[in-house]
Structure formats: C-alpha cells, structure tokens
A and B are shown apart, each in its own frame.
Chain A
Amino acid sequence: MRILIVDDDPFAGAMAEAILDAEGHDCKLVESGVEALDALGEAHEGFDLVISDMHMPLLSGLDLFREMRERGISTAFVLLTGDDPEPLHSQAPEIAACLMKDASLEVTLPAAVAGL
C-alpha cells in the first residue's frame, strides 16, 4: 500500500514509517498538513492511505481530513493522537481509525491498516 504519513514530530513520523515499512508498505513522510495537501494534489503520487497526527501547528489532523474531503480527495484516513482517541473519532466517524499514540502503536497501526 502507498501511504502518506503526516506528523510534525519527525521522530514520531519516522516511527510510524518504520512500523509500516516492516509490513511491506511504501511510505512517504511529510511534516505538515499543507505539505500533505500538496503531495495529495499531485495526481501521480497516488496514495492509498493517509495517516496523520492530530495536533500539528496551523492545520490539525482533523482539519486536514476535512480539507481533503472538501477538495474531493477520498483517500482513506487514519488519525493518530496523544489524547483519548474516542471523543475525537466521534467528531468525525468517517475516519477509518483513530489510534492512541503510545507503545501499542506497533500492533494497533498495522492491524488498522490491514483492516482497511
């Protein structure tokens, strides 16, 4: 799967990339919602999935998701957050998965991606 990872913390992003690389996915890492929209706008990039951090300066993960949908980009979306994921997910139930950023990510992230 071709996956776009969005995280303003390059270490957290690199960790998600490492997890998904290990599953055989092809990942690209960007550091902001704006960069993500640019990457998604270039048709030839053709991503199957966007995985984004929630809290980022300027454009949050949720903002990014809404902006994507407004622009008619229907790529599947997974949100990562340091806070309790449940209330966040209920704000946008169309998001494929909302996962807690902790040590369990090694297990929950591949599982969520595999379940798409």
Chain B
Amino acid sequence: MAAERGNVPIPAAPNKAESFQIRKARLRTSFLSQLPGRLADARRAVAKLRASEIDHAHLDALYILFHTLKGSGATFGFRQISDAAESAEQAVRHAMDSGGRVEAALPAELARLLDDLAALALAAEVQVDPDVTPGFELPGPEPEPTSGHALGARPGQPADRSQRMVYLCDDDPDLAAQLAGQLGCFGYRVRAFTTLADLREAVDAERPSAMILDVVFPEDENAGPKMLAELRAGEEEAIPCIFISCRDDFGGRLQAVRAGGSAYCTKPIKTVELLEFLDRLTSPHPPEPINVLVVDDDRELAQFHATVLEEAGMVAKAVSDPEQVLSLLDTFDADLVLMDMYMPDCSGPELSRILRQMPGHVSLPIIYVSSETDVERQHKALAVGADGFLTKPIEPDRLIAEVGLRAERMRILHSLMVRDGLTGLFNHNAIMQFLEVAVANARRAGTSLCFAMLDVDHFKSVNDTYGHPTGDQVLMALSRTLRLRLRDDDLVGRYGGEEFAVVLNGVGVEQARRILDALRTSFSNVTFFSDGQEFRCTFSVGVAHFPTFDTPDAMTEAADRALYRAKKGGRNRVEIATEQDTLPEPEPEPAPTPESTGTSDGS
C-alpha cells in the first residue's frame, strides 16, 4: 500500500482519453490506496491530543482531514466511510466549538472511529476489486464495543468478537484487505498493516488480542517470525500469534514455532480454519470443559481418575460396567474415553472394537489404562483403534496432560471436519446427525422440537447480477444472522448451496414461527453492497414439528415441502408443514417450474 506519510498524495495524472467510468474507477481505487496514509496522519494527530488542554492546531488539522474524507468518501460512493468520517468531524467540531478544549473522552472516541474507518477502508478496497468480495452491514442488536480493550469477552459468543482487536500484517495489500474484510464479517475488529514497522508501532501503542503475521516479507524470508520473537523479547505476557504463509516447508514452520507462533495456516487461507484458531486464541477460556468418560471395572479407581480430571476443570463421568458405555455416550458428549484394558466381562480392546464399528464413534479418542508393561501386548491392544496407553499407577499430572492434550487436538480436528468451509456452520452431514440426536432426545424426554429449512430467495440472480463473491457474502451474512440471533442450544447448519437448516430444541410450532419470522424480517433489512450498488435479500422457510412428524426423515421431507409451498406462495415467508405435506406431491404440472427447492436454480 503506497501510504505516503505526512504529505497529501496525488492521484496519477489523468488520462483524458479514458471513459468517465474508467477514470472514476481509477480515482476510487487511488482514493482508497492513500486512505491508510491519511488515517495514519490522523492517528498521529490524535496521539498528540492531551485531555483538558486547549489545542487549536491539532483540532483544526483533524477537522479538515475528516471533513475532506467525508466529502470525497461521499463523492466516490463510499457512504459508510463518509458517515464514519462525519461522526469524527462532528466530534472534533464539538471540541472546536467549546473553545478548543480536548475532552477526556475525545481521543478514545476518535481512535475508535479511526479503527472503524480503517476497517471500512479495507472492506471498501475489497469492494472496488470485482474479483473479491464486497462488504455488508448487519442491523440488529449488536452491542457497541464500549472500549478498545478486550474486556470481559464471554466465551463462545460470536458477538463478543467485536471487542477483540486483531492485528494483521501481510505485505500483500489485496490479501490483507480480503482477510480483514472476511474476519470483519465474523465480528472481529481487524487492523491490517502491510509493513512490519507499522505493525510494531501499533503494537507499542496498543496491544491486540491476537496477531496474524505473514512469514515471508520482502526484506527477509523469515521476517514475520523474527518480528514476533523481537516483540516477545520485551514482553512479560505474549500476544498470541497465527502465522500465515505460502511457505509450507519445514524451515518456515520451524521458525514460526521457535518464535512462539500458536498456529500456522498455509495460503490460500481457509477463513474458517483461521477463525477456529482465532476464536481459540482470543477466547479467555475454552468454550466448554473437556468431557471424559472413565471406564474401569474397579469402581474406586474409576472414580479416582474422574476426580483428578474434574479437579483440572474437566467434566468426567465414571462407569464400571462396559455395557453402560453405549447408552451413556448417547447423552454424554464425550471428547475422550479413558478405558481400563482388562475388565472381566468385556476387555478394553473389545469395547474399542464395538465403538469403532459405530459411525458416530469412529473418531472418539480412546486411551487405555493398564498395569500392562509388555510392549508387544500394548501394541496389540492399540491395534484395534486406540490412541494411547497409560501405565498404572498414573501420576495425576500426567493423566491430566495426556487427556487434555488429546481431547483438545481431537476437538479442533472434529470442528474442522463438521463445519462448512465458507460459513463456519455445521455441514450437511453434521446437521443431519444432530437432528437425529435431537429427535431421539425429544422422544425420550417427551418434548417437542422444530426443524426448519431456509432457502435464500432468487439466489441465482444475486450470483448472476453481482458475481459469486457477492453471493458468498450473502451466505456469510445469513449464517452470521442465524448464529447471532439463535439460542446457544439451537443448531444451525448449511444444508447445501443457499439452503440452511436449523434445529430448534424444545420449541413448539408457534414459537418456531415467531423466531423464524423475526429472523426473516431482520435479514430482509440487511443492506448488501456490491461495486457501489446496494441490494437486499430475503429467504423462505419451511418448518416441520416433532412429534407431528416423528422421524428425522419425515421431518426433513415435510420441511422441504413446506419450503416449497413458501416459495410458491410468493417467497419471503415462513410456512409450517401440515399433515398433507407428508402426502406425495400432486402430479407435476406439464412444464416443471424452476421452483424446485432441492436445487439452487431460480430459487
């Protein structure tokens, strides 16, 4: 990014032979490319403001800067940039009108607005380039960040990401903009830098919750790790850091690990993978304690191991009868099973084999506990598909470390396996599995439950009109709306294409209709931007209720048919499946309509 400092950069000499549209596009692009320089000027001026002192010079300079930004932002059609600049302009105006005295809150307010502007500049940069994604803004109940610090972030709440500041540094401005834009979509506050010197300056001014660093920079192929090592040298508390790199070689990874990198993603970056790491690193606590099932025919030993793990903050269940393991696993979502190898009725390897034959438990980590010291017998026992071996008696510390490590790693793997790459929602298989579990639970507990299928209206025409990157933004916006607005125990998945599935636990038909109608209204108010144009999207919903429909298959089929009715009835509505939705569809009309909900065409 050609961010000249301290002087106003000048657009390239005009080529008068070019059409107005092309000249305008060029001007828009160069306006954006010099924006970081202007914002850096503003940051320097803001840094000079001292609370309760009179400072006409810096206020005047800031006023002109924000005012100019407001005007040219609006002229080039960057409405959000213009609006943010106007807020800053007014804050400065207010200080000027009150005698030039700097109120205590002003520097922080301006710093926040500058952060917003920087994020908007990046998002807009992404917008200008038709090859990458446009921005969008979500309305609705999102808490305003109260300060620039990562205070009181509750774990597992996507909305709280807005309080977590992330610094991103990559010498490729396009990639930096694209990543910042996407992470912004998931609620992170991202400041992007293209040089390590700028990053360094920003870290010195304010510590971020996490950093994302490129490995290779023009000056050195290990410049990223070197910078991290340098930053760490003077710090008592390290900033978590994720490295991103096109280098997938051992040397690059080694440097990253030595410098203290917590994660390493290779380019092209998968946003969801990066988000998983970022969530993990910036969340003050793991979202949920690790669940461990302890199986040992020695009831007391089982209980002892469970207690050790509980004291380390895990949730442990002890069971002494192997027969109970399967039914327990139905209700207890274990991250790992700690299993005695020699049990009288069913040995550890036998129980492992049983678990491995069940699709739901193929990847469940199993660790044997035994006094067996014969290496060959240990290997045999592991061969049926167990993951580790601990020899009795086990030191409590060792037990905690072994179990924690494996469960943690399996969780990351699992979440990468069951999540959709674009939206971070559960993928088709996962959400269908969850529906099965939810139906089984509701049947057992005698409660009700609703399954909803959502489909974006006219999605094909969004893709055709604005391009696939814009279409992807719509899907990300919808997934975010769903995740932010639904309750923690509701499950949201991407069913496929532009179709989403939601499992609403313990909810009756009318409540489901209310929830989904509110979501529908809220989403229809989201404004999308694509290359200067604004548009809106709606979705249609079909809902099936349990026990009206009493199997997962019947529910998906009924929801699908209700969705079909919603589409036929004019879209942008919620339809509840009735008994007749189980009946086979009436004879198709002579010419099939393009309304089929099963495919993405025209729906």
Contacts and interface: CB of A to CB of B under 8 A. Distances in A.
A94 interface: no
Given A8-B68, A10-B10, A11-B11, A103 B20 contact: no
Nearest to A9: B68
A114 interface: no
A101 B14 CA distance: 21
B22 to A, nearest CB: 9
Given A55-B64, A103-B76, A12 B20 contact: no
B70 A82 contact: yes
Nearest to A10: B10
Contacts of B70: 82
Contacts of B532: 103
B27 A103 contact: no
B91 to A, nearest CB: 15
A103 B60 CA distance: 26
Contacts of A21: 14, 16, 20, 23
A18 interface: yes
A80 B70 CA distance: 13
B71 interface: yes
Interface in A1-47: 8-12, 14-15, 17-19, 21-22
Contacts of A106: 24
Contacts of B10: 10
A18 B20 CA distance: 6
Contact of A10 (B8, B19, B71): B8
Given A55-B64, A57-B64, A103-B77, A18 B72 contact: no
Interface residues of A, number: 25
B67 interface: yes
A4 to B, nearest CB: 16
Interface string B527-539: 0000010000000
Given A18-B14, A55-B64, A11 B72 contact: yes
Given A22-B20, A55-B67, A17 B72 contact: no
B74 interface: yes
Interface in B45-70: 60, 64, 67-68, 70
B20 A19 contact: yes
Contacts of B27: 11, 14-15, 18
B210 to A, nearest CB: 34
B14 A17 contact: yes
A56 B72 CA distance: 13
A69 B72 CA distance: 28
Contacts of A82: 67-68, 70-71, 74, 86
A62 to B, nearest CB: 14
Residue from B14, B19, B30, B72 with most neighbouring chain A CB atoms (10 Å): B72
Given A15-B27, A18-B27, A101 B20 contact: no
Count class of interface residues, chain B: 20 to 34
A105 interface: yes
A102 interface: yes
Contacts of B564: none
Contact of A15 (B68, B76, B82): B76
B368 interface: no
Contacts of B266: none
Contacts of B76: 11, 15, 103
Contacts of A15: 24, 27, 72, 75-76
B136 interface: no
B8 A12 contact: no
A86 B532 CA distance: 26
Contacts of A57: 60, 64
B31 interface: yes
Contact of A11 (B31, B60, B67, B86): B31
A116 to B, nearest CB: 20
Interface string B5-17: 0001111001010
Contact of B75 (A8, A55, A56, A101): A101
A37 B338 CA distance: 86
Contact of A9 (B16, B72, B86): B72
A101 B71 contact: yes
Contact of B30 (A11, A80, A102, A103): A11
Contacts of A105: 75
A10 B86 CA distance: 19
Nearest to A53: B71
A18 B71 contact: no
Contacts of B67: 55, 82
A86 B461 CA distance: 41
Contacts of B20: 18-19, 21-22
Contacts of B64: 8, 55-57
B14 A102 contact: no
Given A11-B11, A14-B11, A55-B64, A101 B23 contact: no
The 7 lowest CB-CB distance pairs between A and B, nearest first, are A82-B71, A22-B20, A102-B74, A101-B71, A103-B77, A12-B72, A18-B23
26 contacts: A8-B64, A8-B68, A9-B71, A11-B30, A11-B31, A11-B76, A12-B68, A12-B71, A12-B72, A15-B75, A15-B76, A17-B14, A21-B14, A21-B23, A22-B19, A55-B64, A55-B68, A80-B71, A82-B70, A82-B71, A101-B74, A102-B74, A102-B82, A103-B75, A105-B75, A106-B24
Interface of A: 8-12, 14-15, 17-19, 21-22, 53, 55-57, 80-82, 100-103, 105-106
Given A12-B68, A18-B24, 6 more contacts: A9-B71, A10-B10, A18-B14, A55-B64, A57-B60, A103-B77
